[in-house]
Amino acid sequence: MVGVIHRLHRLQARLVTIRNGPGAAVLPKDISRIHLEFAAKIDGGHMGPKKFWREALPRLKYWNPAVPMIVNRTTNQEGPATLTVYFRDAASTTEPPPMPSSSFSGHSKAPPPAEGERTVKIDMKNRRSEAILLEFMTNTKAQQIIPTPQEEAQMRDILELKERGEIDRERVRKDLEAERKEKAMIAQAMSEAAAMKAAQ
């Protein structure tokens, strides 16, 4: 069983990571929903969209829990990779229709804008996740979250723990390798001794 302290460190690291970094931003009130569509595999220019989905979208969800964010992954590697942002007109009182659930088989296409809505489409294909995020932030005028000094200190501590962990893992790996070699040498020596004894 994983130790309590180890689990606590992992939880703290996860919380600090999801609160800060690419995609940590508060969206304006006029954004009603977001839709992403890209292929499941990275071939054909879908690496950037997949990275945006893995890294930026969880942070956007964390900071904007009331904004529906739907992901439609398809099996068509040649197909589009599009990020659609829906904006609600300030004067509109109409609630947008419910968004479809996310799909891993291409069944949740981006719906047309409802009455009182407009959309901005970002072509994500063959683009790096950083470029996609920059265009998204520019088009939405999202307010980026700046980490507090305490969170920056936590991130430094987490990085330091990670680096120490790598050093410790390498040391343990070398120790185990040396132990295995020593056991193999002892086993070989015993086998040779037994063979010599049997030959006498």
* Domain residue ranges of the chain, discontinuous segments joined by +: 21-146, 147-200
Residue 2 has pLDDT above 80, yes or no: no
CB neighbour class for 35 (10 Å; exposed up to 12, middle 13-18, buried from 19)? buried
pLDDT at 53: 92
Give 21-146's CATH code, choosing from 3.40.30.10, 2.40.40.20, 2.160.10.10, 3.30.9.10.
Answer: 3.40.30.10
Kindly state the percentage of the chain with pLDDT values over 70.
92
The pLDDT of 102-114, averaged and rounded, is 78
| pLDDT 10s digits, 55-83 | 999 999 999 999 999 999 888 888 889 99
Eight-class DSSP state of 56? H
Phi, psi of 36 (to 5 degrees): -115, 140
Cα first-last separation, the chain: 52
How many whole angstroms separate alpha carbon 117 and alpha carbon 135? Answer: 20
| pTM of the predicted structure, to 2 decimals | 0.70
State pLDDT tens for residues 148-167.
888 778 778 777 877 787 88
pLDDT of residue 45: 86
User: What share of the chain has pLDDT > 90, as a percent?
Assistant: 32
Q: Which range (18-32, 88-102, 107-121, 170-184) has the least confidence?
A: 88-102
Which of these, 2, 108, 112, 132, lies nearest to 57 by C-alpha position?
132
Residue 69, both tokens = 């964010």
Looking at the DSSP assignment, which residues form a beta bridge with residue 38? 73
Backbone angles phi, psi at 39, to 5 degrees: -80, 155
Q: Which DSSP letter does residue 190 get?
A: H
pLDDT value of residue 123: 92
| Mean pLDDT over each residue of the chain, to the nearest integer | 84
Mean pLDDT of 132-153: 88
Read off the tokens for 53. Answer: 């989905």
Contact 122, 136 (CB under 8 A): yes
Q: Quote the tokens at residue 72.
A: 């439609």
Give the C-alpha separation, 171 to 116, whole Å: 62
Beta bridge partner(s), residue 123: 82
Residue 165 has what pLDDT?
78
Distance of CA 160 to the CA centre of its chain: 21
Report the pLDDT value the prediction gives residue 200, as an integer from 0 to 100.
67
